[in-house]
A and B are shown apart, each in its own frame.
Chain A
């Protein structure tokens, strides 16, 4: 088995807080530069820019996990990834159905655009993407796993939009594939403060909003070959697939 670098939490220019320089081409260039083999594209409550990232990344031999950073109704941020076109399409419909119809004001929150390969704008998202959806964290977890996805509560060390800030502690029966610690801490450091997280696998990602942040931290995944299933196995630590300490 080989070890591959993975940064699983990257925003594109579609996220209002994502810099306009976060075009698919720029994201892929930065990933190449940082020698990442796997990147996760996780805009706030939308998957609409991830297809083009996958296409451009594919040409450079980089694997893209497609999904979103979902805001649950408790305002907990969670990464959700799906394997194929159909499950992603259904997931996008699920997000559209559960995101309130509140319009974005680009002057306040930033632009929410989807671009094509020429970096021309082909879609403007009118709904405010950083709003909370109406789904609870448990409903989201159930949905993701029913559709064979990957479910990772995001930046649990932050005191904003994290499981700890919003819900005080990790619910007993939470079925997460992994938990994410932000680049502001480290899995080891945070487990020192919250030893209960040791029962989960921990990933650390950049949560990049500008190209320079991509690959600032990453995970070494020991897998047989690069695929959605293998990555999922590594996150769960099964059959020799695992996250290897750096």
Chain B
């Protein structure tokens, strides 16, 4: 499934990294500890977090993640947005909390 499909099916807002919307996702990962994401997220995963610090984009790039979903309506910092555009890794925003968006995403991927 492509990021763009997930954006429309989960009603996410694209904040940045629009050139990365055609990336394919391999699964999801949920964590707010970046050290944990570095250790455990898999290439192509879509990552759900409440962190907005610029380091999230460096981690997403390092692990070759497909996109980052930021929950609870938080807005990423300017440096974070800039790096998302540079790396073409989309930042997607939702008003939903982690539990809700992860549940919806899990269902969506299970159906595929």
Contacts and interface: CB of A to CB of B under 8 A. Distances in A.
A126 B59 CA distance: 37
A180 to B, nearest CB: 17
Interface stretch (B11-19, B48-56, B100-108): B48-56
A61 interface: no
Given A164-B35, A165-B33, A166-B34, A171 B77 contact: no
B78 to A, nearest CB: 10
Contacts of A159: 35
Contacts of A167: 34, 51, 53, 55
Contacts of B54: 171
A168 B77 contact: no
Interface residues on A, range: 10 to 19
A169 interface: yes
Interface residues on B, range: 10 to 19
B58 A136 contact: no
Interface string B27-67: 00000011101100000000000011111001100000000
A140 to B, nearest CB: 12
A164 B54 CA distance: 14
A159 B55 CA distance: 17
Interface in A110-164: 136-138, 159, 164
Given A136-B77, A168-B58, A169-B58, A74 B35 contact: no
A160 B41 CA distance: 19
A169 B39 CA distance: 12
Nearest to B77: A136
Interface of B: 33-35, 37-38, 51-55, 58-59, 77
In the A-B complex, list the 9 residue pairs whose CB atoms are closest, starting with the nearest. A168-B34, A167-B55, A165-B35, A168-B38, A167-B34, A168-B59, A168-B35, A74-B53, A168-B55
Interface of A: 74, 136-138, 159, 164-169, 171
10 contacts: A136-B53, A138-B77, A166-B51, A167-B55, A168-B34, A168-B35, A168-B55, A168-B58, A169-B55, A171-B55
Given A137-B53, A166-B33, A168-B34, 11 more contacts: A74-B53, A136-B52, A159-B35, A164-B35, A166-B51, A167-B51, A167-B55, A168-B37, A168-B59, A171-B53, A171-B54
